[in-house]
Homo-oligomer: A and B are copies of this chain.
Amino acid sequence: MLNNYNEKDKVLLAVDCIIFGFDNDRLKILLIKRDFEPEKGKWSLIGGFLKQEENLDDAASRVLKHLTGLDDVYLEQFYTFSEIDRDPQERTISVSYYALINIEDHNNELNEQFSAQWFSIDKAPKLIFDHDQMVKHAIRRLRYRASTKPIGFELLPEKFTMKQLQNLYESILDTKLDKRNFISKINSLDVLIRLDEKDMESSRKGSYLHKFDKEKYDQKVSEGFTFKI
């Protein structure tokens, strides 16, 4: 029946998070080594169960805060996984989110008790359950989103060089980009502020630092602008 609320059909709803980070070279994901059953000792995504008093976004934020200590993290729900035996111990449905965090600024907040570790996408270990599938799906969504919304900046420090930004996009899109074409594309979007400050780490000449100009971006969006890389 379509209209019956049936107690016996209730299920456990998990929330699993793919946490993306960027170390100025490769796109990474944060994984934990489970010290609890099932699949103790194996690598997995972080997750938790939805509680009665919260919605899914809140559950994802809570799970993330628990592991990383971070509030105000970019989170996007992308798919709900429901194969009957995806968790062999008990039927659970998993709503998956991905998060974007800035490794550089926040690496220290990681909660030690989870033995969490960053892995390059292509060097990550095999994960439990259907978590590998979730990661694949998350990358697809991230690729799409990052090329149509300015979410890449979530993965960078507040001040960044053009080279960092280019490395980030190359890493997300898994492709090489031409430096001059990339820079003129970015400049034509006209949503960065070039600071007077230079980063002197990576070269003798030094390279200008930039900030994303959120106010300008919002203003332009309200005038019909769409971000596209």
Query: Which listed residue (B2, B49, B51, B66) contacts A48, Cβ 8 A?
Result: B2
Interface segment out of the listed A85-93, A162-170, A201-209: A85-93
Contact present for B63 and A2 (CB under 8 Å): yes
Copies of this chain, complex-wide, total 2
Q: How far is the CA of A51 from the CA of B2 in the complex (A)?
A: 12
The residues of B that contact A77 with a CB separation of less than 8 Å are: 79-80
Contact present for A13 and B54 (CB under 8 Å): no
Known A2-B47, A10-B10; contact A82-B66, beta-carbon cutoff 8 A: no
Q: Does A133 lie at the interface of the complex (its beta carbon under 8 Å from any beta carbon of B)? A: no
Q: How far is the CA of A66 from the CA of B92 in the complex (A)?
A: 25
Known A48-B2, A63-B2; contact A53-B84, beta-carbon cutoff 8 A: yes
Contact present for A80 and B54 (CB under 8 Å): no
Contact present for A13 and B93 (CB under 8 Å): yes
Q: Does A46 lie at the interface of the complex (its beta carbon under 8 Å from any beta carbon of B)? A: yes
Q: Does A215 lie at the interface of the complex (its beta carbon under 8 Å from any beta carbon of B)? A: no
- Cβ-closest 5 pairs across A and B: A10-B10, A3-B36, A56-B82, A55-B82, A80-B80
Q: How far is the CA of A91 from the CA of B5 in the complex (A)?
A: 10
Q: Does A156 lie at the interface of the complex (its beta carbon under 8 Å from any beta carbon of B)? A: no
